[in-house]
Amino acid sequence: MNSSVGTILLGLAILSSAATVPPIGSINLSDDGIPVLDASQLGAIDPRFTMTHQYNGQALNEDHCLMNIVYLLSELSVLDFTSSIDPTIGMGDKYPDVVTVLDALAPRRTVETRLFIWGLYAAATLMIAQNVFQTAGFTLQWDGIAVGTITLMKATSTSSGVGSNATDVLAQESQVPDIIPITMGTSTNDSYSVATTNTTDNLGIEGLSVAFTGFRNPLPRQDVYMTVMKSLLYIAEKSDTDELLPFQIVAPRPYNAILRMTQYRPTQPTGETLTYGWASQALPAIPQTLLQYGWREASFEVLVDGVPVGKGALVKGTR
């Protein structure tokens, strides 16, 4: 383990119990005449990347485990896709019972961001497909060479059989002098701000919020998670400062959902626009909100400094 360990604090927003849920009704998937890219086949994992895994038997909460991965994917997707990052611990106030540790294998001290992104997506896909949510270790390989690991563990785990490197890091974290925490923003408001006509997630990220404008038919939770994570996989290859081009993602089989996002054109030359960075930070609000209110289709707006900059919808697919 590299002595330089970053800490990513995940899922800082807390859902208000007084929130008013939008009524179930129609969801607008119109694209306002803007061409929409079908990005379902983009963001593919390089075939040189492979992964092995080992479950360690200690049960994890399914939603907490997947939300931890979603938030970590969101944070990593705003980094340079091919840059290398130090070993990192992902943990969150809202789901504190699950910790994800990203580690490099000696002699490496860092691992490319994209390998961790692909590994997290592959790990979540495997657990969902097998319906197994346990403490586990995943070994990442590039061209047949083991380069890093992903460890999912309980925050209080002391079992020597569950990612011993990860456990050692958690135990020694306070003694490491050069930890640089990476949080989900600088806002001091870590709660949802809820209007009377919609549910708004302030996400704990300065200036960014997501307003849910409608809910409709039931949608399996697995379909929600897989579509959101596939969207993050696509966005991760983009520059976080580039303006988002309208896209839709169809969930990989056997899941059946579609996520579409499009930007609003700024009304003034200096107006905010929806970037890939804003989109990636907004997407975790979808499963987090549906976890609270029920798994179903949803439409939403993305706001920056209170100004709507884009919209999206997650709906059942057409298969």
Cβ atoms of 169 and 1 closer than 8 Å: yes
DSSP per-residue string spanning 76-127: HTTS-TTSEE--EEEEESSSTTEEEEEEEPTT-S-EEHHHHHHHHHHHHHHH
pLDDT of 209-225, one tens digit each?
Answer: 999 988 989 999 999 99
Q: What is the sign, positive or negative, of the torsion defined by CA atoms of 287, 288, 294, 299?
A: negative
160, burial (CB in 10 Å: exposed 0-12, middle 13-18, buried 19+): exposed
Q: Average pLDDT in the 247-266 region?
A: 90
Q: 317 by DSSP, 3-state: which? A: coil
- What is the pLDDT, as a whole number, of residue 96? 87
The residue type found at 137 is G
pLDDT of 145-202, one tens digit each?
Answer: 999 999 999 987 433 333 444 444 333 333 322 222 222 222 222 222 222 234 445 4
Q: What is the sign, positive or negative, of the torsion defined by CA atoms of 58, 61, 62, 63?
A: negative
Nearest to 94 by CA among 194, 192, 14: 14
Higher pLDDT, 224 or 207: 224
- What is the pLDDT, as a whole number, of residue 163? 40
pLDDT band at 90 (very low <50, low <70, confident <90, very high): confident
Distance CA 195, CA 188 (A): 19
Percent of the chain scored above 90 by pLDDT? Answer: 57
- What is the pLDDT, as a whole number, of residue 36? 59
Q: What is the sign, positive or negative, of the torsion defined by CA atoms of 173, 174, 177, 183?
A: positive
Structure tokens at 181: 């925490």
Which of 75-89, 257-271, 282-296 bottoms out in mean pLDDT, i.e. has the lowest?
Answer: 257-271
